[in-house]
Structure 1
Amino acid sequence: MKEVLLIDGSHLFREFLKEKLAEEQVHLENATGNRDAYTKIITMLPSLIIIEANDSLNSDIMDLLEKKRNDPNARRKPVILIGPTIERSKAATLVEYGVVKYFTKPIRFDVFFEAIGSILRQSFSFDETPCILDIHINGNLIFVEIARGLNREKLFLIKYKISEIITLHKLVNPKVILMLTNLQLSFVDGANLELLFDNITADERLSKRNIKVLSLDDFVADLIEGHPQYHGIEVAHNLQHILNSLVDGSRSSGTNITDFVSDKILMSEKGTDDGGAEIRFGEQTKDTSASTGNLLKIAIVDDDVIVRKILQSTFSAISGDCSLYQNGTEFVKAIISGQKFDLIILDLYINDMDGLSILRTLQKHNVMTPVIIYSQATQREMIFQAMSLGAKDFIEKPKKPEEILRRAVKVLHSSAS
């Protein structure tokens, strides 16, 4: 059985990951702190290491990565790192420590498990049903809203999220409002509804009589009525009816309950840290690379299709997101339009525009992205001109992928310093 080591994982993330990996016959081992983590890394030699950094990439995490890199047996073990948003130049330097993916929160779990499956070389089953899940808290009321559809991955997460909220906020008498008004359900959704209510009721600290369901669908009420284990859960079509039974009566009798809910209950407490990985499945983000975990965005400019494919394969091994350009005109248009890269691999001999002209264009537009010349050019004068125009390194074709990667990491590291 393949083994994955999770280091400093929050409770929500750890339990969800453990359950999901178990479905795929993968064992998850947990480690807390550097000493425990390093011991398990060198004794287990897991197929994958996942590190969750809650606040920052602190010295402890970097020390652990450094120790791993210096161990001959552990250095090649891939690492997925989950952490705060950081500059791409800093993320790129993590490659030399074996970090193949860097995810920022909220994690896109579909992409996250796709990455794990790729590293472990096995496909993961994953429910791709479109689904929006929102969970927040006000006072002792946990508000859960599900829209668009019932995604089984998200339904599993609800159990851990509710338990974590109850523990974190030390709720004595927790109450839940489950909003399903955006869903049209039928008997084909029965299994997923059962999974939903099993996870909602999993924590014994939450009394079933304190679970209220708002749904316009009679099927929900019929399902709950037909399952004795859900006895006590109330289903209603009217929000005011639910709130009358949950909101404490200490309010002024003149207060409109709808206004009270809008102002006090349904407003998420943005400053509250519920801990753990946030819940995301497939939503788009402005920074695609952040959501997919890619460490590098690389432009490869070469008119030789074989060279382009070889370089793409080389950088894909370290999760590089490669954009391929068969001529200089296409690449220059991309740069002028505002396309950003972490690294540019450039041939000096291109059919429509020589590499020196491209370097001059980069200078003209104040593009500071490091450039590596990968070319058969051997004339000393041409190489000197390229370096004087800002190129960071020159690699003579052909070279083995390992050497190209080593030189690229060196350039990225020096550029980030």
Structure 2
Amino acid sequence: MKQVLLIDTPPLFREFLKEKLTSEKIHVEAAGGRRDAFAKMVSLLPDLIIIDVPKNFQELTEFFEKKRTDPNANCIPVILSGPLPPREIVARLPSYHVIKYFNKPIKFDIFFEFIGQTLRTPLSIDTTQSILEMHLNKNIIFIEIAQGLNREKLALLKYRIDEIIENNKLVSPKVVLMISDLRLSFVDAINLELLLSNVTFDSRIQRKNIKILSKDRFVCDFIDGHEEFRGVEVVENLSMVLSKLVAESSGNDISEVISQNILASTEDMQEGSVEMRFHSETGVASVMNTKKSEKLQVAIIDDDPITRKILEAAFGNLNSQIYMFDAGTKFLGAANQKIYDLIILDIFMPGLSGFDILNALRAKQYPSPVIVYSSAAQKTSVIQALSLGAKAYLIKPLKPDAIIQKALEVLNTKV
């Protein structure tokens, strides 16, 4: 049986690795502290060592020098994870048989693929297409899942939830699980149970504070008939969820919550040890790779010429072909002939309002995602726009980078 030694890995990352590798019939040992680590290494002589890099790189250098003096342990391959070390340290790593350095947060599919190659034991990876996004706003953890249920991501979920609660010192955390795009049946029961078990795993989250947004009858029946998930509420209407949670979490300061964006991370949310996306799903490259031969088609509808100019400049840096409209009637006329990749929409405009446009787009089942960018900060406006199908609601004014970041999130989820 192949053996792996984990050294100084954070508790959650360690447990996630142990669960995954043990399921693949790989023996895992963990050590904390350099002295304990060296003793375990020479007694176990593992096939691979995985080390979480300390802030003091000198400690790591001392461990490696000691490892090099042992003829049996010297050639054991090492994988490091953590912040990028100084250049002079990097130059010495190959001499210590360090074969790979993963910056955090780790893309776990690439991470496990590399471990499998090193051990010459290919690890099974569920490749089911799935978008899983997690965001924190105040004390509410938003989990959005689209396209499918990927068991690798579901297995990671409980560890990531715990990291978010610990890192942000959340008191009375709440969870909104958004799976309204999924249509499930009895064949998905085992994956649905894994998802719900991991969402409800943390005892700090009360069942009454877990809301599931879904219109799927199978999901409702599954939860109603499962004693373990009693108290978890399934809600069909987004406005019902937002009315409760926004009001409970923010008092009267609705604009603050919305300006940070209900589906976006708060600024103090710390990164976890492992990324929730596959390598191919992250960043600008993911969007750009789907548009190698054409530019993104972005429609901007706003009666304010200054706003249009700012948005035109911002999206001009995103490989975009930009179409600007100062009135809703002009946009709807153009939309009869063309499908845009993204729509940026104001709410209050002369003639047709943004709500009118959202209604019209929904009536014709227009497929393009819409981001509302408006100075209207009232809770009722936000709920109405999101209920009519807007993917995000941003409050003016925002820095162009913040708008582009939300656009990338929406586009990557769409992909």
TM-score range, shorter chain: 0.5 to 0.7
Aligned to 2:78: 79
Shift of 1:11: 1.9
1:268 equivalent in alignment to 2:265: yes
Contact 1:212 1:234 in 2 (8 A): yes
Shift of 1:260: 4.2
Deviations 1:101-138 (A, max 9, x none): 22122322222112212222222111111222222323
- Counterpart code for 1:39: A
1:20 equivalent in alignment to 2:20: yes
Aligned to 1:123: 122
Contact 1:45 1:73 in 2 (8 A): yes
Q: 1:97 to 1:194 in 2, by over 3 A?
A: same
Distance (Å, rounded) in 1 between the aligned partners of 2:92 and 2:230: 55
Extract unaligned runs of 5+ from structure 1.
289-417
Aligned to 1:7: 7
- Counterpart code for 2:206: S
Aligned to 1:185: 184
Contact 2:164 2:270 in 1 (8 A): no
Equivalent runs, 1:85-100 vs 2, <5 Å? 85=84, 91=90, 93-100=92-99
Q: Higher Cα Rg: structure 1 or 2?
A: 1
Aligned to 1:375: none
Equivalent runs, 1:160-309 vs 2, <5 Å? 160-249=159-248, 260-261=257-258, 263=260, 265-283=262-280
Q: 1:236 to 1:284 in 2, by over 3 A?
A: closer
Q: Percent identity?
A: 51
Aligned to 2:67: 68
Contact 2:155 2:198 in 1 (8 A): yes
Shift of 1:89: 8.6
Aligned to 2:113: 114
Distance (Å, rounded) in 2 between the aligned partners of 1:11 and 1:19: 12
Deviations 1:31-64 (A, max 9, x none): 1222222222122211110011265x71111221
- Counterpart code for 2:70: D
Q: 1:159 to 1:278 in 2, by over 3 A?
A: same
Contact 1:91 1:102 in 2 (8 A): no
RMSD between aligned residues: 2.8
Shift of 1:184: 3.2
Deviations 1:191-224 (A, max 9, x none): 1111100111112221111100112323221221
Q: Report the TM-score, using the length of structure 1 for normalisation.
A: 0.62
Equivalent runs, 1:302-321 vs 2, <5 Å? none
- Counterpart code for 2:24: E
Deviations 1:366-390 (A, max 9, x none): xxxxxxxxxxxxxxxxxxxxxxxxx
Q: 1:219 to 1:142 in 2, by over 3 A?
A: same
Q: 1:159 to 1:85 in 2, by over 3 A?
A: same
Q: 1:89 to 1:147 in 2, by over 3 A?
A: farther
In the comparison of the two structures, how many residue pairs are matched? 285
Q: Out of 197-206 and 262-271, give the one that drifted further.
A: 262-271
Aligned to 2:52: 52
Distance (Å, rounded) in 1 between the aligned partners of 2:103 and 2:112: 14
Q: Report the TM-score, using the length of structure 2 for normalisation.
A: 0.62
Shift of 1:17: 0.5
- Counterpart code for 1:221: C
Distance (Å, rounded) in 1 between the aligned partners of 2:210 and 2:227: 15
Counterpart secondary structure, 2:275: coil
Aligned to 2:366: none
Distance (Å, rounded) in 2 between the aligned partners of 1:265 and 1:286: 20
Deviations 1:238-278 (A, max 9, x none): 2220133334448566x768x84453543312443254233
Distance (Å, rounded) in 1 between the aligned partners of 2:228 and 2:137: 27
Larger RCO of the pair (alpha carbons < 8 Å, separation 6+): 1
Q: 1:53 to 1:67 in 2, by over 3 A?
A: same
